[in-house]
Structures are given as structure tokens and as C-alpha cells.
A = this chain, B = another copy of it.
Amino acid sequence: MLRYFEDVAVGDRFGSRSYVVTEEAIKAFASEFDVQRFHLDATAGATSDFGGLVASGWHTAAIAMRLFTTGELQFVGGAIGLAVDELRWPAAVHPGDTLQLTTEILEARRSRSKNGRGIIRIRNVMTNQVGAVVLSYSALAMVQTRGVA
């Protein structure tokens, strides 16, 4: 179901598919974008503060976006991200973890500057297979309204 701005309300919550993180994916992302050794090599990870190979925080954030853009909350014309705040990684992501995302609508208002657009603030929380939060943030996004206000 593709939604317009008018189809969501503060407090609505939306789920996602599951995503299994592989060691290969962790290393592939890190070798392209975050070449710190604890993201590239299990031995280096074991001797780091992490105690093992862990995914880059930016990989974790990218996985959250995958779960968001394939999840239950989809808008006609997409959702254009304007700002992200309070991005946190309370627990590390390890090979074999299964992740899921929950999205909650925190605010919704019509755009003051752009006709036909609404602004939503969402909170995204991603958890692993034991329910530990591995990532959370709030985001402002612009979406389409059904009718011109």
C-alpha cells in the first residue's frame, strides 16, 4: 500500500522485513566505506574494544534504510530525507545477526514552503534477534500530499 501524507498520523507504527547480516557483507561494506580494522578482520576485532568483528555503524544505518524502503510504510513518490538527529548505536552488529526495523510517526505537518508536500518526523529503531537496539534515530522526511492544500 502506497500512502500519502494524509494517510499517517502521529503515533502510527510500522514494521519491516528481517535482514540477516553476513560476515561477507560486513567486510565488503567496510572495505568500500569504513576501512577500520575491527570492521575488516575478525582477529583485529577480537583485540579491539568490540571483542569481535562488528559492522560499521554506517553499514548498520544503510541496512536500516533498506528495511525502511522495503517496509510497511511506503509513500507515493517516496520519502525524501531532510535531516537525521540522535543517531545512536547502543549495541554492536555481529555476523549472523538478524535485524528488524520499527518506524513510528512522531510529527506530521504540511510543508510551509512547498505546496503539495508534507513533512513527517519519524523515529526508526532497529533491533537484533534478542531484542537489543542496535541503531536508533529520528528523521525529518518530505512526502507527497493527496491534494493541494
Q: Which residues of A contact B (CB under 8 A)?
A: 29, 32-38, 48-50, 56-59, 61-63, 65-66, 69-70, 77-89, 142
The one of B33, B49, B63, B81 that contacts A57, using a Cβ cutoff of 8 Å: B81
Report how many copies the assembly holds: 2
**Residue in chain B with minimal CB distance to A32:** B66
Question: Is there contact, CB below 8 Å, between B85 and A35?
Answer: no
Known contacts A48-B78, A77-B48, A84-B87, A66 near B36 by CB under 8 Å = no
Closest residue of B by beta carbon distance from A47:
B77
Q: Which chain B residues lie closer than 8 Å to A66 at the CB level?
A: 32-35
Contact in complex: A78, B37 (CB < 8 Å): yes
